[in-house]
Amino acid sequence: MKVPYLSSFLERHKDELPSSELDKRLLELSALFELSQLLNASLNLKSILDNILLIPMGRMMMSRGITILRKNDALFYLAHAKGIPAPWLGKEWHISRLPEGPIILSQTEYSEDWISELHELKIELLLPLLFRDRHKGFIGFSKKLNGQPFTDDEIQFLSSLGNIAAQAIENAQMFEELNQLNRSLDQKIQELNTLFEIGKELNQIFDEPGILKQLSFSLMGQMLVNQFCIILKEGNDWRLAFRKGRLFPEDKCQTILKQCTNFTELKQPQITHNVPELSSLQSYSIELVVPMDIKGQIGGFIFLGPRMDQQPYAQNQLEFVSTLANIAMIAIENARLIKETIEKERLEEELNIARSIQNKLLPSSFPQLPGFDVHGLNIPSKQVGGDYFDLIPVNENEVIFTIADVSGKGMPAALLMSNLQAGLHTLCNEHYSLAQITSKLNHLIYKNTSIERYITFFIMKLNVQTAGFEYVNAGHNPPYLLHPNGRLDELNEGGLILGFTPNASYEIGQGEFAPGTFLHLFTDGVTECMNEKGEEFSEERLIRFLKTHAPRLTCQNFNEQLVRELKQFAGNAPQSDDITVLSIKRNH
């Protein structure tokens, strides 16, 4: 059964609602406004899709969420998911009959195959993502964990979120396309540098003022002109970069600058009295306009006055000044890139320092546990990430193991990880249960971070004397427990990701290490390791590797062999995320 679009609640009930209800609606509108700011503040598609799912899931206590995006006219694919088995990602459907509004799948009249498959995924509510009346895709969510049906207000809230998300998705996709275009154009810069040998002198200067000064000498020496101005494009604006001669005072140059947008169709140097569109420039004694080409785009203009010998500009001079202008423009662009490279190197040095500090938060050695083999490692990516693992002795018989992954990269993630580590070590010294420790950490993270920051977290307490253990999983990749008989269990008892809601409760799971049992904890840098074809290593490959190698290897050998397997799988593809693993094995 299709749920119709809901009209404005305030318009329908403004004369009936008590002030508390109005306050509630205002809070919801405020939440939507904040979510709009959050989604539109990012141009990273994965981050946007994460927030589209995780924020409603945390708010309404739902365990599953999916985002389906349009691939072409009738082809859609599962682009992102939470709580859904990984093999479903990338699943494609041909959808000819598009729902126009939210639908409850358990009550729908739709009988298409793709709806049936969403039933298999336990998706209950499906909402369209509409951008300018065109379907960008859908978001879907499972039933709420409390078993309550979705209210009209909740559906209205999610529908509004979907409309906001569609705009953010459109922006992110356009941004990705622009990035690809920019990378292609940057490559052409390097190719063009080898072609303009006449610009050796210009290309040996690496600051813009020096390049423009050398360009002015060339104009005076070769073109016999000593009155001109140079205007460069910067973003969507124009700026005066250089001027010389009494014909080009500051105020006149500023007037010319405002007209530059009218000249962007010029492809070659033009004498002003030959082109009607340039006739207005003759009143400024400008005789020649030279576009400065960079990668097929206008990067600036040179406006030249009369020659010192009072002769008109000849055709060969136009060709010379065009080449000279383009070489100068390339040199200016190169200078900008060099400046950016120097800045990036400085930032890289700062990141290396941050990485060094972060590494000190990870264990430098592993305790000798009677009857157990333990080993963990962290392979950092180029950025400062938020992966974390730790081993914390509680007493003579008990040890706490933990692994976590902080959202995002860079210094914010590293700082949040250090806060988690400090809070965890403090709480482990108190007499709290694992559920209480996790709940207190969740409250700490919620109070001290913004809504886009969160942590997946797993904690386990092992009694080395009894070989029994208990654990809490707060939204982390479920660790794999491999039994000697080959049975594989996933440790997923727990609750929500840390940082979404202040008062989350957590369940404690239990288990026991029989002789030969192998437990493997990991972050998503392992399963999401990407090869050159864009394929992920995946949970299936990890499980096969675990069953093949864990029974016969020590934990250290297993972890090191797994890292070699990941590097071989990735090939020349860059490592995009930290790889962190922690393995525990009970010896025979």
Look at residue 198 in the predicted model and tell me its pLDDT. Answer: 45
Helix axes 538-549, 555-570, angle to 10 degrees: 140
pLDDT band at 27 (very low <50, low <70, confident <90, very high): low
What are the tokens at 118?
């969403």
Report the C-alpha gap between 159 and 142 in whole angstroms.
Answer: 15
Tell me the percentage of the chain whose pLDDT exceeds 90: 40
Write down the architecture of domain 205-338 according to CATH. 2-Layer Sandwich (3.30)
CA 532 to chain centre: 19
Is 6's pLDDT higher than 70?
no
Q: Which helix (H) or strand (E) holds 580?
A: strand 579-586
Print burial letters for 289-298: b (CB count within 10 Å at least 16), e (below 16).
bbbbbbbeeb
Q: Which is more confident, 543 or 8?
A: 543
Tell me, what's the pLDDT at 296? 85
* Half-sphere exposure at residue 563, Cβ-oriented, CA atoms within 13 angstroms: 17
* Residue 500: CA count within 13 A, CB half-sphere: 24
Q: What's the confidence (pLDDT) of residue 193?
A: 39
Taking the model in full, what pTM does it have? 0.47
pLDDT score of 15:
53
Tokens coding 562:
């797994």
The model's pLDDT over 342-354, given as tens digits with 9 standing for 90+, comes to 888 877 776 776 6
Direct distance between the N- and C-terminal alpha carbons of the chain, in angstroms, rounded to an integer: 58
In the chain, what are the domain boundaries?
Answer: 9-177, 205-338, 362-586
Q: What is the pLDDT of residue 487?
A: 95
- Tell the burial category of 206 from Cβ atoms under 10 Å away from its Cβ (0-12, 13-18, 19+): middle
Position 86 scores a pLDDT of 87
- Asked if domains 9-177 and 205-338 share a fold, the reply is yes
Tell me the pLDDT band of 523, cut-offs 50, 70 and 90.
Answer: very high
Q: Reply yes or no on whether the pLDDT at 3 is more than 60.
A: no
| pLDDT value, residue 25 | 62
pLDDT tens string 537-550 = 999 999 999 999 99
* Tokens (6 digits) for 110: 């739709």
Q: How confident is the model at residue 187 (pLDDT cuts 50, 70, 90)?
A: very low
The pLDDT, as a whole number, for residue 4 is: 35
Provide the pairing of β-strand 398-406 with 372-379. Answer: unpaired
CATH topology classification for 9-177: Beta-Lactamase (3.30.450)
* Structure confidence at residue 292 (pLDDT): 92
Please check the confidence at residue 10 and state whether its pLDDT lies above 50.
no
The pLDDT assigned to 376 comes to 95
Strands 579-586 and 494-495: unpaired
Spatial neighbors of 291 by CB under 8 A, at least 6 apart, are: 263, 266, 267, 268, 269, 298, 300, 301, 322, 325
**DSSP-derived 3-state class of residue 236:** coil
Question: In whole angstroms, what separates CA 16 from the centre of its chain?
Answer: 44
pLDDT, position 174: 85
Task: Dump pLDDT digits (tens) for 267-292.
Answer: 899 999 888 888 889 888 899 999 99
Tens-place pLDDT, residues 471-511: 999 999 999 999 999 999 999 999 999 988 888 999 999 99
pLDDT of residue 350: 67
As a whole number of Å, the CA-based R_g of the chain is 31
- The pLDDT score that the predictor gives to residue 464 is 95
Q: Where are the beta strands (DSSP E) in 407-467?
A: 455-463
Percentage of residues of the chain with pLDDT beyond 70: 89
- What local confidence, expressed as pLDDT, does residue 36 receive? 74
Pairwise CA distance, residues 209 & 213, whole Å: 6
> What pLDDT, on the 0 to 100 scale, is given for residue 92?
92
Q: What is the average per-residue pLDDT within 564-587? A: 91
pLDDT at 342: 83
Whether 28 shows a pLDDT value over 80: the answer reads no
Round to whole Å and give the CA distance between 367 and 376: 11
The pLDDT score that the predictor gives to residue 21 is 60
Q: What is the mean pLDDT of residues 294-307?
A: 91
Instruction: Give pLDDT, residue 175.
Output: 86
**Residue 306 · residue 339 · CB < 8 Å:** no
Q: Are the C-beta atoms of 263 and 284 separated by less than 8 Å?
A: no
Which pLDDT belongs to residue 192?
Answer: 39
Question: For 319-366, what is each residue's pLDDT tens digit?
Answer: 878 888 888 888 888 888 888 888 888 777 767 766 776 777 788 888
Topology (CATH level 3) of domain 362-586: Phosphatase 2c; domain 1 (3.60.40)
Distance between CA atoms of 251 and 248, rounded to whole angstroms?
Answer: 8
147: confidence class by pLDDT, cuts 50, 70, 90: confident
> In this predicted model, what pLDDT tens digit does every residue of 204-243 receive, in sequence order?
777 888 888 888 888 888 788 999 999 999 888 999 999 9
